[in-house]
Structure formats: C-alpha cells, structure tokens
Amino acid sequence: MTGLRGQSEMQWAPAPLRTDGGGRAGAGTAMRLVGISALALLVAGCGGSGGPASPVSGGSVGGGTPTPTAPPSVFSRPAQEALTTADVENVIARTVAEAQARGLPVVVAVVDRVGNVLAVYRMNGARTMARARPGGSAGNLDVQNVEFRAELAAIAKAITGAYLSSSGNAFSTRTASMIVQEHFPPSANARGLESGPLFGVQFSQLPCSDLNTRFGVGSPMIGPKRSPLGLAADAGGFPLYKNGVVVGGIGVMGDGDYGFDPEVVDVDADDEEFIALAGTTAFPAPETVRAERISVDGTLLRYSDARTDGLRANPASASTALLGTAGTLVAVANFAGSGIVAGTPYGSEASGVRPATAAEFNNPDAYVLSDGAGNNRYPVRAATDGAEVASPLTAAEVRAVLEEAFKIMSRSRAQIRRPLDSRGEVSISVVDTRGVALGLVRAPDAPIFGIDVSLQKARSSAFFSGSRVAADLGAVTTAIGNPDANVRDFVTRLSSFFGPANGAFDGRFAVSNRALGLVARPYFPDGEVARAPGPLSRPITLFSPFSNGLQSALVVQNLAAMLGNINLPRCTFLPNHPGGSNRLANGLQIFPGAVPIYRGNTLVGAIGVSGDGIDQDDMVSFLGLNNAGLRVGGIGLPPASMRSDQIVVPVAGSTGVRLRFVGCPFAPFVDTPEQNVCQAL
C-alpha cells in the first residue's frame, strides 16, 4: 500500500544516518547530519544525485532502451464476484444480532469494492450523531470535535475496509489507525520513532473529490465512490471477501466516538469492532492475507483486537427476520438510498473500473476508469497548460511515462501483498502543472484507495515544485470571501523555516512527495520529539489525525459544506488556474510516491503512484519517468542540482538536515537480484 515501507529495503546505513525507504528520522539523532561526508552518503543512498543513466529495464541496469512493445501478461484478474441483496441482508442480520447481545444499538453500512453503498441500517435507539475525537490541547481545529451523522461514520468505515484491501491484503480501520499517526507503531513506547507510513491518507477519498464519483450522478453504480469522511481510523470497519476476492466492506458506528487507537501494545475490548466482526463471518477475509501477516520495519500490523471466539451471539443462527423489528433501512443524502441493492462486480464496465482495451493502453494487464458506457474517463491526452509552459507535455510523452512506470511496477516486489514475492500492484496518474489529469492506469488488483491518492500525489508534487505556492496559498479565502488566516499562516511558516537561501518552495527546487511529507510532520526531523514541527504541520500540542496541518486546513471548509449536504466540485479554495479547475482539486497528499516531470530545467507536470509501499511507489514513479525520458527524449527527471535533496535545513545542534527526493527499496524486483536501482540516476 502506498505508505508502507518496503520489506526488502535497506534498513540502516552506517550510523548515524537512517537511509531506509521511509526517508525519515529514526530514534533520537538518526536524521541528524554531521559533516560533508554524511551529507554525501545520504544523497548517494536515495537516488538524489548524479546525472541520467541507462534505463532499468528487462532485469539489468544498463540494458536496452525500453520500447513500446506490449509485454506479456503477469497478473491475474480478480474474479468478478459481488454481494447479492441476500448477502447484504445476511451481513446486516449477523451484525444486528451481535449488537443486541451487547446492548449497543448501532448503525450498519455495507458497501461494494468500489464504494457503492449497498445498504445503511439504523437500529432502534442507535445514536444519531458521532463526533471526531478531540486531540492536542485545543481540541477544536479543523475536523477535531466536529459532529456528524452516525450514518456517515459507518459508511466511511465500510469504505475504508473495502478500499485498503485487495486479494493480496486485508486491512481494517484498526490497521489504518496504526499507520496514520505521529509515531509508528503508535504507542507511548514509540516516541522518537518516525510517523506512520500512511501519514495523511485519511484525507483522501474525500466527499469533494473531483475523481471519485457522487451518488445519484450519472450511471448509478460507477465507482470509485466518495467517502463522507475520507478514510477512517476508528475500529469497526472491515473488508468483506467472497471466494477469496474482496467484494466490499462493513462499517459500524454505535458509541458516538469517531476516533483512533493511540496505544497499540494493549488489546482493546471494543464493542463496535466485535459487532462489525460478526457481520463479516459469512464473508471473512482469508487469514493468509490479513494485516497481522504483514510487517513494516519489523512490526506486524493489526487487523482486529476482536476475535470470533469473543462474540456473544452465534452469527450463523442470526435470522434476517429480526431486521423487520430491530430497526430500519435508511437513506443517506448524497450517499445511499433507503433500500438494499446488490454490489457491482469489480472489473465490469458497470463498476467503473475495467480492463483497458489495446487502443487505450499498451499492456494486457492495464485497468482504467470507465463511465459505464465504455468511455475511458481519463484517456491519455496532451497537457492543458500551454499558456504557462513553453513546451507542455505531449500525449506521446504522457503515454510513455504511464507505460514505462507500469513496466517497473510489473517487475516490483510487493510490500503488502501475500504470498511473499508477489508483484506489486498500484495506480498511476500523470498531471500537468495545472493539476489536470492527463492519464490514469492501474494494475488489476491494486487497492482502490490508490486511485484517488495517486492523483493527489501527482498534483501535490506539481504544485509544490511550481512557483505559485505562496501566492496561491495566500489567496485562499473562507467561504464568505475573507482571507483564510489558517491557511495563510503556513505560507509564513514555510518562508521562515527555509529562509531566503533555500526558498519557500518557490519553484527553484523540484519537490517530491517524500520531501513534502518530511516538512508536514509534527516533528522535524520526523519523529524526534525534542524538535519543532515541520512548517506544514500542526505543533504536536495541537496535532491529531483530524488536524494535521496544511493538509486538513485546506479541505476543512469544503468538508464541512459536504457534511451540510452542499455539494462542491473541489476540495480546496485555492485559486482556479486559467483553465477553470483547481491545482489541488481532490486535496493535498503528504506521503511518498510522486516526482515532478521536467523538460530540461522547466517543470511540465508530475507522476503519482499509490498502492503497494511508499518505497515501491517512489521507485515506480522515479524509474518510470527516467525510462520514459530515455524512450522519447525531451522529458525526464529534474536535474540533480534542482532536486529537493539539495535543500539543507538548519537544525539546532547539527550542520543541517537534508531533505529527500526518493527512497527506493533494495532488491526491488521479482525477476532479477539487482539492487540500488535508483542510486545512479
């Protein structure tokens, strides 16, 4: 998954420098740089210096130039399974029976793999509202302490379980909680360790996304659908599987607390989690792919603190007849009707995600987004920014970037998929400097969440590599047109943090998402608890996963409007570009997996990758762009002298901390033993 560090990556460089794919501080002084030789070692270890080199293709560095010849298929397409209306009734009945046994009336939501809400059931006496847990000393910044209908929380949990999972991995909302907090793993014992590998992913799949579709608009079952609250970290959301294929998710809200688990070393007795687990018993995730079988930096992830032997009702004996008396099916404005509908088989035209035709993409394993009528929603196209860029990206160049990145992905060793040594599966997006999507392609079984996130990443890298950062952020207004002091404050902090020599992300440097993420953490260097926050983060006293800095500040207005049933076509109030849309239309993303595209010294776009480990995502974007440049000429990686790893930030007690550009895993391919594949580029 996009945020998880590669299992085969380099874990430690010679002390004191951590050069793992996370690109972040380890405990104490792991990112404190001492002397010129240390700085040189860091640059060499993360692919941040040196000029262009031979392509990585066909299993050897220095092999032949990549060609547009279609490669053979290496992936299996997921079977087109789906939940029937009877299946949905069964899931809800098992959930309600356990809720009755525990004396906690709940709201239950069931979705399919692409986020269509198949049913929302409210038990008699269930709480009407839920509240995002306060965090820090303020407790009222951004989404913290905000109230919303319990149905929205249940839907967000169900979508999280479905979107984070695949045939090779099953992740729950408890898994999500582990990987979005300020330390990984989240625990009082982990202070001093870097932030979670999916830090920031909770602000994706937003209800204002211009990529994810809205209920009741166009073809009814076309996905991926929006989540009302982004991705959830509150226990009580699981994926649902049918014949080993992920077909959706279930979410439960009953206690009114929409939160997260800050302490991973204990075992919670969470009623919502037990109740949701009961609902999965007819369609459980295979044990072989559950999160507890997957490790990150030597730490096993968590799937559930609840176990089936702790259930208080026998789920197999639950009767759907009780649904007629225990509660009622409810409609949810903008998300669901009042009945039960069957799920749509993922991979079908009706689902909105289907295999590409040969004319659409030059790879038999490629999937694209479709509109239900056979039309690719994001076909390869030329850039739209000719008014600002002298030589914008051509359609042929965009196609080359997507195809070469797809080839690298197809050879990569997956981080989160089981069995071990599976090939990585991701979503890949290319944008121009305006953030307009120029093409989007994905592997057959890549997690759904990566579709929206890959576009967020590409847009974020393009935006922060451009020269408009300060002007555009400073121009953000509130809904009534007043300057947004909350957002504008981050402009001042950027300028102060970097100083005039480095610039405040003013177009002089090519900014990757790895670099962007490092300055959006509540400690800089990441994890070092004695340090001040990065300029795009909240101070730790004000921080929570619901209020993490610029990322949440940019979207809170539009998220609040959506919760009030006001539909908006974008997630930020950044000024629109001359083409009419928004450079961060579906929000900002702040974990690795995107690099900017350059023509010489000129920014022309960005590539974003999401789905199977942040190091894998970095590698696919970095090597894919390099190989595309060698294939078509004219475009490629930014010059080494312009990359964000040339920025050294003054830090008290050291000679400075150098940002990163990318972090690629060691031994990353399943078909060759080569290592250090990004180092010479």
CATH number at residue 262: 3.30.450.150
In a shared domain, residues 57 and 89? no
Task: Residue 113: name the closest of 613, 436, 451 by CA.
Answer: 451
> Exposed, middle or buried, 128 (CB in 10 Å: 0-12/13-18/19+)?
exposed
- Rounded to the nearest integer, the mean pLDDT of the chain is 88
Residue 299 lies in a domain: yes
Tokens of 114: 């692409």
Q: What is the pLDDT of residue 579?
A: 75
Task: Residue 1: name the closest of 518, 545, 592 by CA.
Answer: 592
Residue 667 lies in a domain: no
Name 57's bridge partners: 60
Q: Is the peptide bond before 224 cis (omega within 30 degrees of 0)?
A: yes
Separation of alpha carbons 556 and 554, rounded Å: 6
Tokens of 264: 């991973």
Q: Quick count: other Cβ atoms within 10 Å of Cβ 493?
A: 19
Q: Quick count: other Cβ atoms within 10 Å of Cβ 35?
A: 10
pLDDT confidence bin for 56, thresholds 50/70/90: low
Residue 584 lies in a domain: no
Separation of alpha carbons 319 and 100, rounded Å: 13
Q: For residues 232-247, give the mean pLDDT.
A: 98
- Contact call for residues 198 and 185 (beta carbons, < 8 A): no
Task: Residue 107: name the closest of 237, 270, 264, 288 by CA.
Answer: 237
Structure-derived torsion over alpha carbons of residues 380, 381, 382, 387, reported in degrees to the nearest 10: -130
Separation of alpha carbons 429 and 671, rounded Å: 25
* pLDDT over 90 (residue 225): yes
Q: What is the pLDDT of residue 4?
A: 54
Q: What is the pLDDT of residue 216?
A: 82
Tokens of 151: 């149905």
Q: What is the pLDDT of residue 3?
A: 39
Q: Number of structural domains, the chain?
A: 2
In a shared domain, residues 183 and 288? yes
Q: What is the pLDDT of residue 408?
A: 97
Q: What is the pLDDT of residue 219?
A: 78
Q: What angle do CA 593, 595, 599 make, to 5 degrees?
A: 160
In a shared domain, residues 95 and 57? no
Task: Residue 406: name the closest of 456, 444, 352, 351 by CA.
Answer: 444
Biggest alpha carbon–alpha carbon distance for the chain: 73
Residue 13 lies in a domain: no
Q: Is the peptide bond before 16 cis (omega within 30 degrees of 0)?
A: yes
In a shared domain, residues 316 and 222? yes
pLDDT confidence bin for 177, thresholds 50/70/90: very high
Residue 491 lies in a domain: no
In a shared domain, residues 276 and 251? yes
Separation of alpha carbons 621 and 124, rounded Å: 50
3-state secondary structure of 222: coil
Tokens of 158: 């169900």
Using a cut of 0.85, tell me whether the model's pTM lies above it. Answer: yes
Q: Side chain identity at 580, as an amino acid letter?
A: G
In a shared domain, residues 204 and 291? yes
Q: Quick count: other Cβ atoms within 10 Å of Cβ 533?
A: 23
In this prediction, what percent of the chain has a pLDDT beyond 70? 88
Weakest mean pLDDT among 7-11, 309-313, 540-544: 7-11
Q: For residues 121-150, give the mean pLDDT.
A: 84
Q: What is the pLDDT of residue 414?
A: 93
Weakest mean pLDDT among 44-48, 149-153, 310-314, 482-486: 44-48
Tally the residues of the chain.
Answer: 681
Tokens of 60: 């050897």
* pLDDT over 80 (residue 499): no
In this prediction, what percent of the chain has a pLDDT beyond 90? 74
Q: What is the pLDDT of residue 425?
A: 98
In a shared domain, residues 98 and 224? yes
Q: For residues 91-117, give the mean pLDDT.
A: 98
> Exposed, middle or buried, 469 (CB in 10 Å: 0-12/13-18/19+)?
buried
Separation of alpha carbons 451 and 224, rounded Å: 8
Task: Residue 241: name the closest of 300, 341, 151, 165 by CA.
Answer: 165
* pLDDT over 90 (residue 276): yes
Q: For residues 72-94, give the mean pLDDT.
A: 97
Q: Which DSSP symbol is given to 284?
A: P
Print the domain residue range for 393.
35-75+355-466+507-536+590-658
In a shared domain, residues 95 and 185? yes
- Contact call for residues 78 and 245 (beta carbons, < 8 A): yes
In a shared domain, residues 415 and 366? yes
- Contact call for residues 593 and 513 (beta carbons, < 8 A): yes
Separation of alpha carbons 128 and 141, rounded Å: 23
Q: What is the pLDDT of residue 134?
A: 72
Separation of alpha carbons 383 and 575, rounded Å: 19
- Contact call for residues 522 and 537 (beta carbons, < 8 A): yes
Task: Residue 443: name the closest of 550, 562, 572, 347 by CA.
Answer: 347
Name 368's bridge partners: 354
Separation of alpha carbons 366 and 380, rounded Å: 13
> How far is CA 535 from each of CA 79, 195, 523, rounded to the nearest angstrom?
46, 16, 10
Separation of alpha carbons 666 and 454, rounded Å: 23
> Among 329, 347, 381, which residue terminates a domain?
329
Residue 25 lies in a domain: no
Residue 8 lies in a domain: no
- Contact call for residues 402 and 395 (beta carbons, < 8 A): no
In a shared domain, residues 433 and 298? no
Ramachandran area for residue 629 (φ above 0: left; ψ -120 to 50: alpha; else beta): alpha
Q: For residues 553-578, give the mean pLDDT.
A: 84
User: For 429-464, how does the pLDDT look when each residue is reduced to its tens digit (9 = 90+)?
Assistant: 999 999 999 999 999 999 999 999 999 999 999 999
Separation of alpha carbons 371 and 119, rounded Å: 23
Q: What is the pLDDT of residue 115?
A: 98
Residue 543 lies in a domain: no
Q: What is the pLDDT of residue 136?
A: 56
Separation of alpha carbons 660 and 513, rounded Å: 9
- Contact call for residues 118 and 341 (beta carbons, < 8 A): yes
* pLDDT over 50 (residue 13): no
Helix axes 550-563, 485-502, angle to 10 degrees: 160
Q: What angle do CA 205, 208, 212 make, to 5 degrees?
A: 50
In a shared domain, residues 44 and 136? no
> How far is CA 583 from each of CA 325, 377, 436, 461, 468, rounded to the nearest angstrom?
49, 19, 7, 10, 10
pLDDT confidence bin for 498, thresholds 50/70/90: confident
Residue 217, C-beta contacts closer than 8 angstroms, at least 6 positions apart:
none
Q: What is the pLDDT of residue 138?
A: 54
Phi, psi of 217 (to 5 degrees): -115, 125
> How far is CA 630 from each of CA 322, 583, 633, rounded to the nearest angstrom?
64, 28, 5
Weakest mean pLDDT among 61-75, 181-195, 578-592: 61-75
> Exposed, middle or buried, 194 (CB in 10 Å: 0-12/13-18/19+)?
buried
In a shared domain, residues 269 and 312? yes
Phi, psi of 550 (to 5 degrees): -60, -35
